[in-house]
Chains A and B, each alone.
Chain A
Amino acid sequence: MESKHDADDDADGNAVNVAVGALDTAPIEAADERVSATSLNAFLAQIEHRAFRLAEMQLRQREDAMDAVQDAMLRLAQHYRDKPPEEWAPLFWGILRRRIVDLQRRRKVRSIVVGWLGGGQDGNGDELPAWDPVDQGPGPLDHLRDAQAYTAMSAAVRKLPQRQREAFMFRILEGLDVADTARAMSCSQGSVKTHLSRAMQHLRDQLEDWR
């Protein structure tokens, strides 16, 4: 039963990846730039905004997202600047992924500690969000239709399990190939396909309006 399920996932995953491969060849803005960046400065310049959006989508807080991207840039520059430019993308996304996971774990620990200390309640005894940040309020993008759709997509993506979310972000949003995604996620290529297949299945259910 398990193996049949896995086999189904594999088949589905392959189909997803074939289609995503076709998507990769579609004309995407700045796609050429992604390939041609040969200096680290140019690479970081073209990736930093997307990295911030990706971190923000997972961490839901701008300052934490900024910290994560800053740290990832610093580590890449300090430790991997001499690597070939084609390796920078998977290295950078891998560093950022680990940093995001670190921050999520710290938040969890903080929320537990605050809960023990009784800081999780306000004066009326109501529960306060110990670490979950308050929404910063609608920005300019929220007045646009695309912004609403992006918000809906972000919410749906955040509901995914961690590994499925990472597979979707690197493979679909960032457009990394399977090998680079596997490298960024520190897992096998088969796992990437399985996670992505399941992520697409969940997102299909959550984003029915997009059909």
Chain B
Amino acid sequence: MSAPDTHLAQRARELYGKAAERLDPAVGARLQAARLHALAAAHAGERRHFGSGARWLIPSGACAAVVLAAVTLWQPMQPPMPAGTAGTAQGSDLDNELPPDAAQTDPVLYQNLDFYGWLASTDQTAGRH
């Protein structure tokens, strides 16, 4: 670089330095505030980073609760086990407690429902005497 170039570079840097030093105080104050804000934001970000483990616990717990509820609701909806499996004996006991199948019941029973009702009430009255 020639002497004029060196002079130009020196002069340019000198002017740049002076201009930076003589910056308007209001601008300087705003820059200072911006710097402090940037550092504070970085610190806050760091704290959030360290607390990220705890932050993950909440959605994880929520997911676990939803899964548990889904499993609990799903169990009663299981279809009845087919006959001939291990639970057959228990299943036959349950069948006895069910109302009679209308298709296999004697139709005369339905025709004389009033009579049977009267008979049942008479028996109860006689039992009291």
- Chain A CB within 10 A, most for which of B5, B11, B19, B23: B19
Measured in the bound complex, the distance between the Cα atoms of B93 and A112 in whole Å is 85
Q: Are B17 and A23 in contact (CB under 8 A)?
A: no
- Chain B proximity mask over A179-211: 1 for CB below 8 Å, otherwise 0: 000000000000000000000100110010011
Question: Which residue from chain A places its CB closest to the CB of B4 in the assembled complex?
Answer: A211
Q: Are A19 and B1 in contact (CB under 8 A)?
A: yes
The answer to whether the Cβ of A114 comes within 8 Å of any Cβ in the partner chain is: no
Residues B77-101 near A (CB distance < 8 A): none
Secondary structure of the A contact surface, majority rule: helix
CB distance from B26 to the nearest CB of A (A): 10
The answer to whether the Cβ of B38 comes within 8 Å of any Cβ in the partner chain is: yes
Known contacts A49-B20, A150-B18; decide if A20 and B9 are in contact (CB<8 Å). yes
Contacts of B21 in A (CB 8 A): 49
CB distance from A85 to the nearest CB of B (A): 15
Stretch in B27-35, B51-59, B67-75, B106-114 touching the partner: B27-35
Q: Pick the residue among A26, A54, A210 that contacts B8 (CB under 8 A).
A: A210
Q: Are B42 and A53 in contact (CB under 8 A)?
A: no
Other 16 A-B pairs with CB < 8 A, given A19-B6, A66-B27: A29-B17, A40-B39, A41-B39, A44-B39, A45-B32, A45-B35, A49-B21, A50-B17, A52-B31, A53-B19, A69-B31, A70-B37, A141-B19, A146-B18, A172-B9, A200-B9
Query: Chain B interface (Cβ within 8 Å of chain A)?
Result: 1, 4-13, 15-24, 27-28, 30-32, 34-35, 37-39, 41-42, 45
A–B pairs, 17, beta carbons within 8 Å: A49-B21, A50-B20, A52-B23, A73-B38, A74-B34, A74-B37, A77-B39, A140-B24, A141-B19, A150-B15, A150-B19, A153-B15, A200-B8, A204-B4, A204-B8, A207-B8, A210-B11
Query: Chain A interface (Cβ within 8 Å of chain B)?
Result: 15-16, 18-20, 22-23, 26, 28-30, 40-41, 44-45, 48-50, 52-54, 62, 66, 69-70, 73-74, 76-78, 81, 139-141, 146-147, 149-150, 153, 168, 172-173, 175, 200, 203-204, 207, 210-211
